[in-house]
Structures are given as structure tokens and as C-alpha cells.
Amino acid sequence: MTNAQFEKLVDDFFNLSTNRNYNYSYTPSKMAVDLVDDRLEIAYLVVGHDPKNVEVSLTQDKINIRAKVETEDKSVYGQFVKNIDETLNLTKEYDGTTATAEIRNGILKIVVDKKEEQKPKKISIKF
């Protein structure tokens, strides 16, 4: 949530009695990315989806994440569970065909290695 979104949320909350047209919905961030050594780690939110219904397909430069909601839930909890059809483009230094994926606690974690030719190599120095 950005500072502007947070400030709007607080302002709207404290003006509830005067503002009857209150219509604010918070959308959580669905993805986080981190570079660790020679790999890219992607965490993607799949809360509420059965892990058996989450599909990850890979090409050399793209990762596609799909998950379909079996039954629509109109409750407040159902607002967080939506169909997913997301394509993530990888830069040329990463190889999507080497990726691994796991789901834990509603978070899909995808790890993608750098291409061999992109990894730094140490060379010996003669003296």
C-alpha cells in the first residue's frame, strides 16, 4: 500500500459519519521479486486457490501463472480470491526453463536461475 493509499484509507475511515458514499477496497500486492545470488525469486499471492488448480508454464523468456476459482464466493473473503492469468516476462539473463515452483501458505514461490553464460566467473591471476 502506498502512502497516498494509506492516507486516503485513514481519511475515509474518519469521515465515515459525514461521507455515506464510502466505497474503498484495499487490493494487496500480489507479487514480490528478489535477486538472490545467481537466481531470481518471485513470490506470487495465490491465497484461497487449491494448489492442485494452480498452473505454472514456462518458456525461456516467460512464466505464465494460471488459477481458476471453482465457485464464486461473494463474501468478504471471496474478494481476495480471483481468477489468475498472469504472464511474467523475464530478462534475457534468466532462463525460465530452469525454474522451480512451490506453494506454501497461499504463496507461490518461483525460483529462476541465471543463464550459465550470464553468471560471473572467477579467473585466476598470474603473478
Identity of the amino acid at 53: N
Residue-range domain boundaries for the chain = 29-116
- pTM listed for this prediction: 0.66
Please give the pLDDT value at position 93: 85
Task: Tell me the C-alpha distance between 11 and 98, whole Å.
Answer: 47
Alpha carbon 10 to its chain centroid, in Å, reads: 26
Quick one: pLDDT at residue 17? 46
Say what the pLDDT of residue 28 is.
56
Rounded to an integer, what distance in angstroms lies between the CA atom of residue 79 and that of residue 89?
A: 27
3-state secondary structure 30-63: CEEEEEECCEEEEEEECCCCCHHHEEEEECCCEE
For residue 11, give the C-alpha cell.
Answer: 481519511
Tens place of pLDDT for every residue, the chain, 127 residues? 676 777 777 666 666 545 455 455 555 568 888 988 888 899 999 888 889 999 999 887 888 999 988 777 788 777 778 888 988 888 888 887 888 999 999 999 999 988 877 667 777 788 7
Looking at CATH, the fold of the domain delimited by 29-116 is given as: Immunoglobulin-like (2.60.40)
